[in-house]
Structure 1
Amino acid sequence: MNPAVPALALGALGLVDAAFSGFRAYAGRDARIRKHRAVARAALRGLATGAVTLLAPALTAGCVLLAADDRSRTYAVLADGAIGYLVPLALYAAAVLLSLAAYFVLPFRASTLAMVVGLGPLTLLRPVVVGIACLGAFAGGGPASLLVGAVAGLAVLCVEPFVHRRWYAKALTAARSLRAGA
């Protein structure tokens, strides 16, 4: 397998996760029925934020490679760590996709159940899965891979809080003050 494939797969997963993080930061903030534009805007905000934050692990990997005595060996170690990092995330992504497919395909009640039983707990398990992925990176590639994996994990876990604080916290605070004054 080409060593760049796991890195590209991780980058793609990170960007998709960032778009979902943007959506989650916005979810529940708007009571309108038709909010497709707002949802798309939130996902794009998450995607843009994720694209910037995912530069951190790329730069970390670059610094690790530049500091290494044997760059080809370090590259191979980082590639092995990327595979160890990718396996738990791929399993998690498959579970999320299965839950999303059930949500979109099943009738209303069953799809609601799929959302509550599947996507809700999976969202809560996200930081745990990132931690397990870091352990996989360490097992696959050692301390250098753990460093890059930990920076990547922090990067993806910071997208949702950043998007929320940057674009949606003010709206939520304003709505609360309106309710309190009414």
Structure 2
Amino acid sequence: MTPAAVLAALLTLLGLVDATFSGFRAHAGRDARIRKHRATARAALRGLAVGAVLLLAPALTAALLLLTASDPARTYDALAAGGLGYLVPLTVYAAAVLLSLTAYFLLPFRASTLAMVIGLGPLTLLRPLAIAAACLGALLNGGGGPGLLVGAIAGAAVLCVEPSVHRRWYRPSL
């Protein structure tokens, strides 16, 4: 497996994990039952499914760019460089989320609630900024226009998962 293929797989995996959490967030707070593991798992799977479909857009964009490029090797290199630049800010963001989740699951109740309030809450609000930083990273790392285009489409795709899941399955009836 080439380094570029590994990079694409990592970015896809990161996008799918984010989509799964987005499905969970679309459902969170809408169910007052004590035992809601099945509903939570269903919401996460819905996010994963929607995310998998939406993440086809950047993959198809990259394929189209490669098929129509006058110099496919150069475009491929630009997309690989852009992908690496895109991954670095998202890795930092994902590490912060993972640290907050670890604190939430391992600490006693009060401390885990604090981890949720000062960690996961603000980090959720910072997702669009993390994606903007990733797009900037794709551009600055040598991805140029192709890297920025694919990164922006990927960012838009992951940001659309939660509203799509909410609108389709969890919108309150009037």
Scaled to the shorter chain, the TM-score interval is: over 0.9
Pairwise CA distance, 1:173: 3.2
Deviations 1:76-117 (A, max 9, x none): 110000000000001100000000000011111111100100
Percent identical among aligned pairs is: 72
Q: Distance in 1 between matches of 2:3 and 2:156?
A: 26
Q: Distance in 1 between matches of 2:90 and 2:166?
A: 24
Deviations 1:108-130 (A, max 9, x none): 11111001000000000001100
Q: 2:94: which partner in 1?
A: 93
Q: Distance in 2 between matches of 1:25 and 1:164?
A: 5
Pairwise CA distance, 1:139: 1.1
Q: 2:35: which partner in 1?
A: 34
Structural RMSD (CA): 0.9
Q: Distance in 1 between matches of 2:114 and 2:101?
A: 11
Q: 1:163: which partner in 2?
A: 165
2:159 equivalent to 1:150: no
Pairwise CA distance, 1:25: 0.3
TM-score computed with the length of structure 1 as normaliser: 0.93
Partner letter of residue 173 of structure 1?
S
Identify unmatched segments of 5+ residues in structure 2: none
Partner letter of residue 161 of structure 1?
P
Q: Distance in 1 between matches of 2:5 and 2:136?
A: 20
Q: Distance in 2 between matches of 1:125 and 1:38?
A: 26
Structure index of larger Rg: 1
Q: Distance in 1 between matches of 2:132 and 2:145?
A: 14
Partner letter of residue 105 of structure 2?
F
Q: Distance in 1 between matches of 2:130 and 2:3?
A: 25
Q: Distance in 2 between matches of 1:13 and 1:26?
A: 20
Pairwise CA distance, 1:2: 1.1
Partner letter of residue 110 of structure 1?
A
TM-score computed with the length of structure 2 as normaliser: 0.97
Greater alpha carbon shift after TM alignment, 125-134 vs 1-10: 1-10
Q: 1:178: which partner in 2?
A: none
Pairwise CA distance, 1:69: 1.1
Pairwise CA distance, 1:4: 1.3
Deviations 1:4-49 (A, max 9, x none): 1111111000000000000000000010000000000000000000
Q: 1:173: which partner in 2?
A: 173
Partner letter of residue 12 of structure 1?
L
Q: Distance in 2 between matches of 1:18 and 1:2?
A: 24
- Moved >2 Å (runs of 4+): none
Q: 2:119: which partner in 1?
A: 118
Q: 1:51: which partner in 2?
A: 52
Q: Distance in 2 between matches of 1:39 and 1:105?
A: 20
Q: Distance in 2 between matches of 1:8 and 1:143?
A: 21
Q: 1:177: which partner in 2?
A: none
Q: 1:8: which partner in 2?
A: 9
Q: Distance in 2 between matches of 1:62 and 1:15?
A: 19
Identify unmatched segments of 5+ residues in structure 1: 175-182
Q: Distance in 2 between matches of 1:109 and 1:35?
A: 21
